[in-house]
Structure 1
Amino acid sequence: MFVLVVALYFLLACGVAGLLLFPAAREIVYLALAKRRQQIGAQVQNWRDRRSETTRSLSQNLQASRLSSWQFIKRHQWILLAGMAVVLIPPLTAWMLSGKTMLGSYDDSGQVVNQQIAALLEGEQLVPPPPLPPEVFTTQEVAQVRPMLDTASRNWQALDADFTQRLLMTFKIMKEKHGYDMVIIEGYRSPERQNALAQMGGSVTNAKAFQSYHQYGLAADSAFMRSGKLVITEKDPWAMRGYQLYGEVAESVGLTWGGRWKMMDLGHVEFRKPGVMKR
């Protein structure tokens, strides 16, 4: 490595000495540099000429396109105006009519719900209803729709206090405003029961232990009472209408309704408290 450095230094020194001592060598180097500079200048000028030509071509094409478009519009102006009318008039008409319909059918019944929610937040304490006889939940019709309901917990005391008040308020509104008597068919659910239900397949539940708010006392499944009988089936139009109203009322008091899920659970509501479950 040292020898290579010395050799390079020697060659460099010889070159510098040659330029200093021999005018002919300096002339050769000068001519070579001048020729190279001319070549670079020619390349730069050639690039500038091509760019200028491209710019002129694009400008001419753009002007021609504008002129052609304007001529097309002038030749077909009435057809274009008619087409715009066909496209714009129907949606504008529908928008104007829908706006009038919304204003004309405004329903202030939501104010009643807001007052009841305000009362709930101000501290109105609702009392859970007395438990129903066990045989209400063990009929053949109920067992076909909801398996293992006879062993489900319907103890209001096992539920979160805040969730309990919101659910009771929902039941109250459903009764007073819509005429539906509602009962809780399952509240708190143990981890063991949750796993047992999950093993029955996706038609029952996909949630395993501690994947459901039931294990935290923050969820409940409810149904309707009609003529002293429990109505759970979704095939009953009266019950389906009730579930829709139930979802609206539950959401208005801050609960999450299972009817909006991909796998709908119409009778299910839950109260998603921050920090309880990560979703």
Structure 2
Amino acid sequence: MFLLAVAVYFLLACLLSWLVLFPAGRELLMSTLERAGLRWRRRFAAMAQRQENGALELQRSGRAQLAEWGAFLRRHYLLCGAGLALVCLPPLVALLVGSKPSLRGFEASTREINPQVAGLLEGEQLVPPPALPPLAFTTAEVQLARPMIASASRDWAMLDKAYAQRLLMAFRIMKERHGYEMALLEGYRSPERQNTLAALGPGVTNAAAFQSWHQYGLAADCAFVRDGKLVISEQDPWAMRGYELYGEVAESLGMTWGGRWKMRDFGHTELRVAGVMKR
């Protein structure tokens, strides 16, 4: 390997010396490079000419094809119009007479709204219950069940007014009829927070920004209060029974309950308003 390198170096040194010392060598090198450049220019020119000819041929062919189609349409315009109508009419009719599409991925509630409770919503304006102390949302049990819940918004004023009244009515019914005191865990959720929670994985949420009703003030996560402490875990039989009752009450008020979803969210309710969420 060393000898080969020495031989190559020697040949290069001889070639360089020849070019430097002998004008004939320089002339030979320049003429060789000039002939090579000329050959390459001719090749490139020939390739460009072929491409130009191909483009012109393709253009002529396309114009001829369009002319043939135009002549066909002119000769058979009635047949073509009938075919176009047959293709367009069925989806147009289905679009006009069909019902509005619903959100996918959720089970629709079939429960009827309780007319008496619905009447109450049109009259008395309910007020939010006293807020729990911030420390109630920082216990180990709460943080395990609801990651990052301590920094969540619990401002009732940021919720849609109609939804807030339904949710407060659910709180009243749960307390007066079933003996469960309830608390708001999270109401409005910013798009940035929604993306942060989505990054934690499907165990927290499957929805990205603006794919959740939280961003529109039309959803809330709630839990129960027992002896002054939040109870969220579904492993607690008392809490699980409360979630079942809460779902019945929420649906009777026209809300959607997360306990019927494939990825169940027992403390979640939302009020779906047509034309709000774009999907």
- CA distance in structure 1 between the aligned counterparts of 2:202 and 2:117, rounded to whole angstroms: 37
- CA distance in structure 1 between the aligned counterparts of 2:255 and 2:204, rounded to whole angstroms: 21
Which AA in structure 2 matches 1:183? A
- CA distance in structure 2 between the aligned counterparts of 1:127 and 1:145, rounded to whole angstroms: 27
Shift of 1:115: 2.4
TM-score, reference length from structure 1? 0.58
**Could you say which residue in structure 2 is the equivalent of 1:266?**
266
Asked whether 1:193 is paired with 2:193, we answer yes
- CA distance in structure 2 between the aligned counterparts of 1:168 and 1:274, rounded to whole angstroms: 22
Find the residue that maps to 1:167 and give its secondary structure. helix
- CA distance in structure 2 between the aligned counterparts of 1:116 and 1:260, rounded to whole angstroms: 22
Q: Is there any run of 5+ residues in structure 1 with no aligned partner, and where?
A: 1-112
Asked whether 1:120 is paired with 2:143, we answer no
Q: Is there any run of 5+ residues in structure 2 with no aligned partner, and where?
A: 1-113
- CA distance in structure 1 between the aligned counterparts of 2:278 and 2:252, rounded to whole angstroms: 23
Q: Which runs of 4+ in 1 moved over 4 A?
A: none
Which AA in structure 1 matches 2:119? A
Find the residue that maps to 2:185 and give its secondary structure. strand
Shift of 1:146: 0.8
Alpha carbons of 1:114 and 1:176: their partners in 2 closer, same or farther (altered >3 Å)? farther
**Could you say which residue in structure 1 is the equivalent of 2:277?**
277
- State the superposition RMSD in angstroms: 1.8
Shift of 1:278: 4.1
Shift of 1:131: 1.4
TM-score, reference length from structure 2? 0.58
Shift of 1:248: 0.4
Shift of 1:130: 2.0
Which AA in structure 1 matches 2:117? Q
- CA distance in structure 2 between the aligned counterparts of 1:125 and 1:261, rounded to whole angstroms: 30
- CA distance in structure 2 between the aligned counterparts of 1:145 and 1:184, rounded to whole angstroms: 15
- CA distance in structure 1 between the aligned counterparts of 2:187 and 2:236, rounded to whole angstroms: 24
Find the residue that maps to 2:141 and give its secondary structure. helix
Find the residue that maps to 2:116 and give its secondary structure. helix
Equivalent residue runs for 1:226-241 within 5 Å: 226-241=226-241
Cα deviations by residue, 1:82-123 (Å, 9 ceiling, x for unpaired):
xxxxxxxxxxxxxxxxxxxxxxxxxxxxxxx642321213x2
Cα deviations by residue, 1:150-179 (Å, 9 ceiling, x for unpaired):
100000000000000000000000001000
- CA distance in structure 2 between the aligned counterparts of 1:116 and 1:247, rounded to whole angstroms: 15
**Could you say which residue in structure 2 is the equivalent of 1:51?**
none
- CA distance in structure 2 between the aligned counterparts of 1:211 and 1:274, rounded to whole angstroms: 14
- CA distance in structure 1 between the aligned counterparts of 2:132 and 2:242, rounded to whole angstroms: 20
Which AA in structure 1 matches 2:230? L
- CA distance in structure 2 between the aligned counterparts of 1:234 and 1:216, rounded to whole angstroms: 27
Which AA in structure 2 matches 1:227? D
**Could you say which residue in structure 1 is the equivalent of 2:18?**
none
**Could you say which residue in structure 2 is the equivalent of 1:216?**
216
- CA distance in structure 2 between the aligned counterparts of 1:125 and 1:189, rounded to whole angstroms: 24
**Could you say which residue in structure 1 is the equivalent of 2:106?**
none
Shift of 1:124: 1.4
Equivalent residue runs for 1:129-208 within 5 Å: 129-208=129-208
Cα deviations by residue, 1:208-249 (Å, 9 ceiling, x for unpaired):
000000000000000000011100000001100000000000
Could you say which structure has the larger radius of gyration? 1
Shift of 1:132: 1.2
- CA distance in structure 2 between the aligned counterparts of 1:115 and 1:205, rounded to whole angstroms: 34
Find the residue that maps to 1:177 and give its secondary structure. helix
> Looking at both structures, which has the greater relative contact order when contacts are Cα pairs under 8 Å and sequence separation is at least 6?
2
Cα deviations by residue, 1:38-86 (Å, 9 ceiling, x for unpaired):
xxxxxxxxxxxxxxxxxxxxxxxxxxxxxxxxxxxxxxxxxxxxxxxxx
- CA distance in structure 2 between the aligned counterparts of 1:177 and 1:134, rounded to whole angstroms: 28
Find the residue that maps to 1:230 and give its secondary structure. strand
Which AA in structure 2 matches 1:225? V
**Whose helix fraction is larger, Structure 1's or Structure 2's?**
1
Find the residue that maps to 2:249 and give its secondary structure. helix
- Asked if 1 retains the 8 angstrom alpha-carbon contact of 2:117 and 2:253, the reply is no
Shift of 1:186: 0.2
**Could you say which residue in structure 2 is the equivalent of 1:243?**
243
- CA distance in structure 2 between the aligned counterparts of 1:160 and 1:167, rounded to whole angstroms: 10
- Asked if 1 retains the 8 angstrom alpha-carbon contact of 2:158 and 2:188, the reply is yes
